[in-house]
A = this chain, B = another copy of it.
């Protein structure tokens, strides 16, 4: 890196690329950091589109060959925002070239790829992180603090759902997220991975075994006319098979003794981005809902009985994670801010050598749980992670 800059090359520019761009553009305007992010270049498959995206999102240059980003000496970080089928190839090349890597989740579409990535990351001098951004929602980080501080005592129950509804309509087209060869899995990998990572992070416990079911409610969908960006789609030209799960549900036993229920679905009509986590411990409970991400509910069972209740903490105070850099109390932040916080921690760790989590090893841990879920769903039995 240059003396003061951390020079970023991003691969992919759709939904996640836009969110990451917003983060790189904003992070140094809000946080005081030893390095300043510079948005050097973005890579994509179609020259016109990637050029337009670079202009729109604020990248200095664009390219149709991500390998040129890896090869450039004036790029320090490769930020991978592509579908899961290309994560491994790009990340391994980048690490081999000595670049720091920020890779979107889930880490990879296969366990073999994920293992190779974790090994390469462990062996590399450069830094790497997987983009489970919800760890950096202030309320989620506060959950972690509350568990770590012992406020909950022994954890008994974890209840985690990630509910969406964007494909309830059978006429919604067969976008890449519904094709196994591109996305690896459906709701499980896309959003189930988030609640696996987040509950393991918050509780400090790993999922040890699972019993699962997966379901595809709508098995055939119209083909999109051309590659669709983001979560949307375009005009159809025939039908194709949905090769991923619409929903994945599982029970879990954690290493530390807690038990849990998990559900990821794209068929929860009316729930748009409903990541909800509740944790019950012997001394208290926590509840979080991503659709109200500035709030955390906390129940303190050590208060006198008649004074107990779930307390809605508005997580906008300067004493809350990341918030001292933003606005006064009550001036709420949004979903995108989690990416800015992720960028903040990434830059800080690169500059200072501090810990950077979730590591590729952490993300491999999530993949192992997802793999156990799929094996359990096939076998119809409890499966060890």
Which residue of B317, B330, B382 is within 8 Å of A274 (Cβ)?
B330
Name A269's contact: one of B290, B301, B333 (CB within 8 Å).
Answer: B301
Q: A168-B282, A335-B331 are in contact. Are A267 and B156 (CB under 8 A)?
A: yes
When each residue 259-302 of chain A gets 1 if its CB lies under 8 Å from chain B and 0 otherwise, what string results? 11101010111111110001011111100001111101011010
Complex CA–CA separation, A116 to B327 (angstroms) = 32
- Contact of A228 with B by CB under 8 A: no
Closest Cβ of chain B: how far from A231's Cβ, in Å?
Answer: 5
Contact with A263, one of B142, B159, B272, B328 (Cβ below 8 angstroms) = B159
Q: What is the CA–CA distance of A263 and B156 in the complex, to the nearest angstrom? A: 13
Beta-carbon nearest neighbor of A287 in chain B: B270
Check if A268 sits within 8 Å of B306, measured CB to CB: no
| Contact between chains at A269 and B283 (CB < 8 Å) | yes
Q: Which residues of B contact A261 (CB under 8 A)?
A: 249, 261, 263
A220 in the interface, Cβ–Cβ < 8 Å?
no
Task: Check B270–A310 contact: CB distance below 8 A.
Answer: yes
| The stretch of A20-28, A78-86, A105-113, A192-200 that contacts the partner chain | A20-28
Binary interface encoding of chain A residues 190-213 relative to chain B, with 1 for a CB under 8 A from any of its CBs, else 0: 000000000000000000000111
Q: Do B331 and A327 have beta carbons less than 8 Å apart?
A: no
Enumerate chain B residues within 8 angstroms of A231, measured Cβ to Cβ.
Answer: 328
CA distance A311 to B168 in the complex (A): 19
Interchain CB contact under 8 A, B299 and A269: yes
Contact A282-B269, Cβ < 8 Å, known A21-B29, A319-B306: yes
Measured CA separation A293–B272 after assembly (Å):
16
Q: Pick the residue among B265, B285, B311, B312 that contacts A268 (CB under 8 A).
A: B285
In the bound complex, residues from chain B placing their C-beta under 8 Å from that of A278 are 268
Q: Which residue of B lies closest to A164 (CB)?
A: B330
Nearest residue in B to A379 (C-beta to C-beta)?
A: B381
Given known A270-B285, A312-B310, contact A335–B332 (CB-CB < 8 A): yes
Complex CA–CA separation, A164 to B316 (angstroms): 13
**A337 interfacial by beta-carbon distance below 8 Å:** yes
Give bound CA distance, A301 to B272, whole Å. Answer: 12
Instruction: Assess whether A211 is in contact with B251, with CB atoms less than 8 Å apart.
Output: yes
> Which residues of chain B have C-beta atoms less than 8 A from A291's C-beta?
294, 314, 330, 332
Chain B residue with Cβ nearest A21: B29
Is A309 among interface residues, defined by CB-CB distance under 8 A?
yes
Cα separation A291 to B312 with both chains bound (whole Å): 12
The complex places the Cα of A269 from the Cα of B316 at a distance, in Å, of: 15
The interface of chain A, by Cβ under 8 A from chain B, is 15, 19, 21-22, 25-26, 29, 32, 56-58, 142, 156-157, 159, 161, 163-166, 168, 211-213, 215, 217, 230-231, 247, 249-251, 253, 257, 259-261, 263, 265, 267-274, 278, 280-285, 290-294, 296, 298-299, 301, 304-314, 316-317, 319-320, 327-337, 380-382
27 contacts between A and B (CB under 8 A): A156-B269, A157-B268, A159-B263, A165-B301, A168-B282, A168-B301, A213-B251, A215-B259, A217-B257, A249-B260, A265-B280, A269-B299, A270-B301, A270-B308, A270-B310, A271-B330, A272-B329, A273-B331, A273-B332, A290-B330, A291-B314, A291-B332, A306-B319, A310-B311, A327-B336, A331-B336, A380-B382
